[in-house]
A and B are shown apart, each in its own frame.
Chain A
Amino acid sequence: MKELLELLEKDHTLTPEQLAVMLGMSKDKVTAEIERLEREKVIVKYHTIINWEKAGVDSVYAIIHVNIAPQREVGFDAIAERIYRFPEVKNLYLMSGAFDLSVMVECNSLKEVSQFVFSKLATIEGVVSTTTHFLLKRYKTEGVIMEDEEEDRRLAVTP
């Protein structure tokens, strides 16, 4: 199963036929396995990584470190849910260390980021402090090097 997931994580356009040959399984078994993995939310979503900068779309990304006061019974989860429901929040992680939550937001402008922070995020009850870091350049996302051009430098025919 791990091998199937790794292949799909790398390239979800592979067809069940291709996967079946690559894994030495039957096509029906691969199809059934994928369906099960999707049903059980092991495969959560098929995702495409786009270099938006190259596509000419200017977005502003920021990573906001948030300190919060945990609440009885629900701990950090209730506040986290209030935050991750905002559509501009792309990633949200509970962290150990100097801050509690790492929130990554995508907005159209610096102004929109600031507005999100002071009007939506900072006003949530339980949010103690925020520190906003603007993302200047994306080198690697989800394990993919954005400008990765490790060219094939091999000769066309070699022994």
Chain B
Amino acid sequence: MSWSDRLSPTVKSIPPSGIRRFFDIVAEMKGVVSLGVGEPDFVTPWHIRESCVYGLQRGYTAYTSNLGLLELREEIARLIHNRYNVMYNPRNEVLVTVGVSEALDLAMRAIVSSGDEVLVPEPCYVSYKACVTLAGGTAVPVPTSVENDFRLQVADLEVRVTPRTKAILIGYPNNPTGAIMTREELLKIAEFATKHDLIVISDEIYGDLTYEGVHTCFSSLPDMRDRTILLNGFSKAYAMTGWRIGYALANPEFIAAMNKIHQYTILCAPITAQVSAIEALKNGETAMSKMVDEYNRRRRLMLEGLRSIGLDCFEPKGAFYIFPSIEKTGLTALQFAEELLKEEKVALVPGDAFGDCGQGFVRCSYAASFSNLSTALERIERFVSRRLG
């Protein structure tokens, strides 16, 4: 028996991430302007970094409670209450995790059993479907389309729901499209979830990066609090990706179940990062809003730039991605990304890395400096005009 034969069939069944494959190509090249990065280009604000240094000086080097430092949980609960008017008890309804990725994994493993199905709108963050599979469930993709601004439609859910459907996993503002969902649209999803008695896992990591309209927290919808596992974290809004601090908010039963897995696997999130997360929540609002303003300006630049190049592009209203259609070039998303990289040294990510319905699109991140965005746009224009003749 080969070593490969001895691997778990579940793990073997998961395809490698399309992003990973593309990263391998980019990694070998020099002088690349990258729009392929799914994280802020800002370094964590200094006062947050400084709090980590000071935390170490004060001897914050030990384990914390499994749920996380109580002070951090209190700050998280306060934030969600102040912002969305939903109350969570910091003692048993808040769990601090190693990034939202861990929170997502815990949520799936806490609720999904073998044979369960989870509805996953696409295009979506690359981990969503894999996490469902790793938990033993089946991810059921629900395509969204540019005609609906990549907003999830209840009709598309209705045709895919079955008696085995356990949950629905949504992530708005969306990576990779930048789509948002309004309160009215989410109310319809809530109605659907109630009708079919589904748990809703709502990944709101990009919630603070909403440029038009107001972000609606799914838990804040009527009767949704106890049905929802709300996921969020510090990576995007506070430019703290490498710190790996996320959190989950849910009813005590869900949190206890998630914490059971967390305590046997991770034990607790790193204390230094938790200390800094407290600083981010207490004093990070100004720095965050400055970064959000900057993303918004870049968003407008990219939208205008890509449209003037001749690429059809729906207007993203959240996150820091723009998702232009490259169909008129006659190339597949992967061809477009690979040829653009080879010919013009601009890295972006093929849309189908986020699900089949992302074919014909590419994800461009505008978490890049103004000069890099300008250079990338010039190069994309050259590339596209060659293709369009």
Q: Interface of A with B (CB < 8 Å)?
A: 3, 7, 11, 14, 18, 21-24, 150, 152, 154-159
Contact = CB atoms under 8 A, between A and B. Distances in A.
Interface of B: 17, 19, 22-23, 26-27, 32, 34, 36-39, 41, 43, 125-127, 175, 293, 297-298, 300-301, 304, 347, 349, 370
Nearest to B23: A157
A156 B370 contact: no
Contact of A156 (B17, B27, B126): B27
Contacts, number: 54
18 contacts: A7-B297, A14-B370, A21-B304, A23-B297, A150-B43, A156-B23, A156-B36, A156-B347, A157-B19, A157-B23, A157-B26, A157-B37, A157-B349, A158-B19, A158-B23, A158-B38, A158-B39, A159-B17
A157 B301 contact: no
Contacts of A7: 297
A132 B294 CA distance: 41
A11 to B, nearest CB: 7
A156 B37 contact: yes
Contacts of B127: 159
A155 B37 contact: yes
A147 to B, nearest CB: 15
A23 B37 CA distance: 24
B365 to A, nearest CB: 9
Task: List the 10 closest pairs (A to B, CB-CB), nearest first.
Answer: A157-B36, A22-B297, A157-B23, A156-B26, A21-B304, A158-B38, A156-B34, A159-B126, A150-B43, A159-B38
Contacts of B43: 150
Contacts of A157: 19, 22-23, 26, 34, 36-37, 347, 349
A156 B35 CA distance: 8
A3 B19 contact: no
A156 B19 CA distance: 11
B26 A18 contact: no
Nearest to B368: A152
Contacts of A3: 293
Given A152-B41, A156-B37, A159-B126, 4 more contacts: A155-B27, A156-B27, A157-B36, A158-B36
